[in-house]
Amino acid sequence: MNKLNDLLKPGQPLPPDDVMITKGLDILNHSPHGQQLADFARINQIQIRIMATPHPTTYLPESKLVYIGFNRNNPVSPSRFVMMMASILREAQQESAGIKHPHLHAPMQEHMKMSMAKHEDKIWYMCTVACELNDQDIFAEYKFLEELKLMGHEESLALFLKQERKPQ
């Protein structure tokens, strides 16, 4: 069975989108919190699509449709792809639970408060999934914690590890 790392190598053609999505969900299923996201996507029939974008991004245009975007000539690492998938599925889960962005004409303060709360929750969830996967030997080469740092979440990860993990 090919690992996602084997399918996303620089200089090689990308596998079909459905293969990338299936492999990403398979990896998430190895984490208790990631499994919740994968189950949520399956039960709620969330469509996951990949789109070509200049820079890595995720997008939730509808509650049951998520996009993961990256430059196909310079694809994201497999670990970043899985973290992006976790992030956008968590956002879909938030929407499904009624945690939505305020309407367009709501006061800026309301937009800031809700956006920050949603963002913090997504980052915390990504840290949880990354730690759960990183603790497994079969994912050692993915370096999920390093990838979170490369994604700009070093401070959030440090705070997460300090608050959520007990010294061994």
pLDDT of residue 128: 97
Least confident stretch, 15-24, 64-73, 109-118: 109-118
More confident residue, 120 or 165: 120
Reported confidence tier of residue 11, pLDDT bands at 50, 70, 90: low
Residues 10 and 22: their CA atoms lie apart, in Å, by 20
pLDDT, the chain, mean: 90
Q: How confident is the model at residue 168 (pLDDT cuts 50, 70, 90)?
A: very low
Model confidence band, residue 123 (pLDDT cutoffs 50, 70, 90):
very high
- pLDDT single digits (tens) 46-75: 999 999 999 999 999 998 999 999 998 888
Quote the CA–CA distance of 70 and 163 in Å, as a whole number.
32
Secondary structure element (H or E) that encloses residue 62, with its range: strand 57-62
Percent of the chain's residues with pLDDT above 70? 92
Question: Tokens at residue 105, please?
Answer: 């004409």
Look-up: residue for tokens 């006061």?
107
Query: What is this structure's pTM?
Result: 0.90
- Interhelix angle 78-96/32-43, nearest 10 degrees: 60
One-letter amino acid at 142 equals Y
